[in-house]
A and B are shown apart, each in its own frame.
Chain A
Amino acid sequence: MNIPTDLKYTKTHEWVRQEADGTVSVGITHHAQDLLGDMVFVENPTVGRQLAQNEECAVVESVKAASDVYAPVAGEVVAVNDAVESAPESLNKDPYGSWMFRLRPSNPADLEGLLDAAGYQALVESETH
């Protein structure tokens, strides 16, 4: 299983990267795309939207099903990745290279509550066994 150690994770299978400019990039994990199968549609939040932590804010749809994506932290959407909307399969091919949207966190403490790689690995193992 591919779980990079430099990222943070949520219990709902998003990954979070802290960028140098203070924003965070969000995508879905290798495990999430593996569960969902071939991706065929992505709908991102609009730039400028204020999100609460754990708010439903994006949708990914695979050949199998639609799945909500949740905001890992509270904050404002400052950018969305149009490339994943025009090529949803990039979420399968390169899940950690394919960020979906960026947030400017409004409460830095939210980041402290996220899982590290070991914590996420344990979560995935508990869900699959």
Chain B
Amino acid sequence: MQQTPLNAKHRELNAKLTDFAGWEMPIHYGSQIEEHHAVRREAGMFDVSHMLVVDLRGEAVRPFLRRLLANDVAKLTTTGRALYSCMLHEGGGVIDDLIVYFLREAWFRLVVNAGCADKDLAWLETQRDAHAPGLQIVPRRDLAMIAVQGPKAGEKLWAAMPGTRDLTEPLKPFSAVTVGDMFIARTGYTGEDGFEVMLPGRAAPYFWQALLEAGVKPCGLGARDTLRLEAGMNLFGQDMDERTTPFESGLAWTVDLKDPTRDFIGRDALLRLPRTRQLVGLLLLDKGVLRAHQKVHTAHGEGEITSGGYAPTLDASIALARVPAAVVVGDEVGVEVRDKRLRARVVKYPFVRNGKPLV
């Protein structure tokens, strides 16, 4: 298994470690639920160094990305601005979801999922060779990444690293700034305010320690998953993958069709394919726990839960489910949980945002 530069820190903190996409990562440091609440109420930090930063350099990088991504990087005109996008194959299925940052005209940065990193690089190289031979693709395995999340993320970050305050306090969501050898973005995967900090791997343990001493709670991938589910954020491999389109995955808002001349990969398929399925939120009405792959029965046919679990902020069970397109918010559906059929209501998601329940 691969280890991040923070592996020794996780062991010092008695983390329960697990294999995640070939990386030895903390699942929790004692209690996943306490870590979840810390992020909703104060501040928590996650080692997300397993994710891959990829720098794209060259004069042709903007047109290359306008063709590669379903969202349109034409919107990125200010240094540090970021965009969430899917990268599709010709059939409209999702190869990966990612964040793209605009650094300057000849330099964009992608952050991609750990489990997709190898295939993403291969795809990028294939597309580069065919359409932008001069483009440099630089995987940045030298960088670690720490996400500091929660209503007090800023306060604690600035206590730990006072020199970062002037540049990071004015940051709007989905924008980033370079501070010395750190790249700090106001982004995250929790539904809270916070920052994702990319920095040299050798510096990461010192930064982690400073955050720890400032009172930021270490949080594992377990809490990261319940936080993102409450925030209604998709997880690649569960809520969408190569067999599903963004339209079937609650990600239509990330597909930019405004420029009819922009022929991005997957566009034709997206416009051609019938939209028979959709992703909806479910709130369990009976007692129990919704889980991925449970079958959903609706008045319009069957569906399946893609992500489900216990939502600590709501003290209830919630899920994302792929169901027939005719299902609407407010419908009651049945979910097969072991030998029972439990009742759930179709709800709008996100379920929680900035500490507040929305369902």
Contact of B289 among A37, A66, A89 (CB under 8 A): A66
A41:B289 contact, CB within 8 angstroms: yes
A64:B222 contact, CB within 8 angstroms: yes
Contact of B310 among A41, A43, A92 (CB under 8 A): A41
Could you tell me the distance in whole angstroms from the C-beta of A31 to the nearest C-beta in chain B? 13
Residues of B within 8 Å of A41, CB to CB, are 287-289, 310, 317
Q: Does A1 contact B (CB under 8 A)?
A: no
Q: Does A109 contact B (CB under 8 A)?
A: no
A66 in contact with B338 given A41-B289, A61-B289 (CB within 8 Å): yes
Residues of A within 8 Å of B287, CB to CB, are 41, 43
Interface locus among B5-13, B26-34, B45-53, B158-166: B26-34
B338:A63 contact, CB within 8 angstroms: no
Please measure, in the bound complex, the distance between the C-alpha atom of A43 and the C-alpha atom of B309, giving whole angstroms. 16
Residues of B within 8 Å of A43, CB to CB, are 287-288
Contact of A37 among B32, B291, B317, B338 (CB under 8 A): B32
Residues of B within 8 Å of A92, CB to CB, are 31
Residues of A within 8 Å of B27, CB to CB, are 37, 64
Q: Does B226 contact A (CB under 8 A)?
A: yes
Whose C-beta in chain A lies nearest to the C-beta of B337?
A: A66
Please measure, in the bound complex, the distance between the C-alpha atom of A64 and the C-alpha atom of B236, giving whole angstroms. 18
Q: Does A111 contact B (CB under 8 A)?
A: no
Q: Does A40 contact B (CB under 8 A)?
A: yes
Whose C-beta in chain A lies nearest to the C-beta of B35?
A: A38
Could you tell me the distance in whole angstroms from the C-beta of B343 to the nearest C-beta in chain A? 16
B222:A63 contact, CB within 8 angstroms: yes
Among A41, A59, A64, find the residue whose CB has the most chain B CB atoms closer than 10 A.
A64
Q: How many residues of A contact B (CB 8 A)?
A: 13
Whose C-beta in chain B lies nearest to the C-beta of A65?
A: B291
Please measure, in the bound complex, the distance between the C-alpha atom of A64 and the C-alpha atom of B338, giving whole angstroms. 16
Please measure, in the bound complex, the distance between the C-alpha atom of A92 and the C-alpha atom of B28, giving whole angstroms. 14
B289:A38 contact, CB within 8 angstroms: no
Interchain pairs with CB closer than 8 A, number: 37
Cβ < 8 Å to A, chain B residues 110-129: none
Q: How many residues of B contact A (CB 8 A)?
A: 16
Among A43, A63, A64, find the residue whose CB has the most chain B CB atoms closer than 10 A.
A63
A66:B222 contact, CB within 8 angstroms: no
A38:B338 contact, CB within 8 angstroms: no
A38 in contact with B31 given A59-B338, A63-B310 (CB within 8 Å): yes
Whose C-beta in chain A lies nearest to the C-beta of B289?
A: A61
A63:B291 contact, CB within 8 angstroms: no
Whose C-beta in chain B lies nearest to the C-beta of A68?
A: B338
Please measure, in the bound complex, the distance between the C-alpha atom of A92 and the C-alpha atom of B16, giving whole angstroms. 15
Cβ < 8 Å to B, chain A residues 1-49: 37-38, 40-41, 43
Mark contacts of A54-66 with chain B using CB atoms, 8 A cut-off: 1 yes-contact digit, 0 otherwise: 0000010101111
Residues of A within 8 Å of B226, CB to CB, are 63
Residues of A within 8 Å of B28, CB to CB, are 37
Contact of B222 among A37, A61, A89 (CB under 8 A): A37
Please measure, in the bound complex, the distance between the C-alpha atom of A43 and the C-alpha atom of B32, giving whole angstroms. 21
Please measure, in the bound complex, the distance between the C-alpha atom of A59 and the C-alpha atom of B27, giving whole angstroms. 22
Please measure, in the bound complex, the distance between the C-alpha atom of A24 and the C-alpha atom of B155, giving whole angstroms. 53
A66:B31 contact, CB within 8 angstroms: no
B288:A38 contact, CB within 8 angstroms: no
Residues of B within 8 Å of A66, CB to CB, are 289, 291, 338
Please measure, in the bound complex, the distance between the C-alpha atom of A37 and the C-alpha atom of B317, giving whole angstroms. 17
Could you tell me the distance in whole angstroms from the C-beta of B240 to the nearest C-beta in chain A? 22
Mark contacts of B62-97 with chain A using CB atoms, 8 A cut-off: 1 yes-contact digit, 0 otherwise: 000000000000000000000000000000000000
Please measure, in the bound complex, the distance between the C-alpha atom of A38 and the C-alpha atom of B309, giving whole angstroms. 12
A to B CB contacts below 8 Å, 30 in the list: A37-B16, A37-B27, A37-B32, A37-B222, A38-B31, A38-B32, A38-B33, A40-B33, A40-B289, A40-B310, A41-B287, A41-B288, A41-B289, A41-B317, A43-B288, A59-B338, A61-B288, A61-B289, A61-B310, A63-B32, A63-B222, A63-B309, A63-B310, A64-B27, A64-B32, A64-B222, A65-B291, A66-B291, A66-B338, A92-B31
With A37-B222, A63-B309, A66-B291 known, 17 other A-B pairs at CB within 8 A are A37-B16, A37-B27, A37-B28, A37-B32, A38-B32, A38-B33, A40-B33, A40-B289, A41-B288, A41-B317, A61-B288, A61-B289, A61-B310, A63-B310, A64-B222, A66-B289, A92-B31
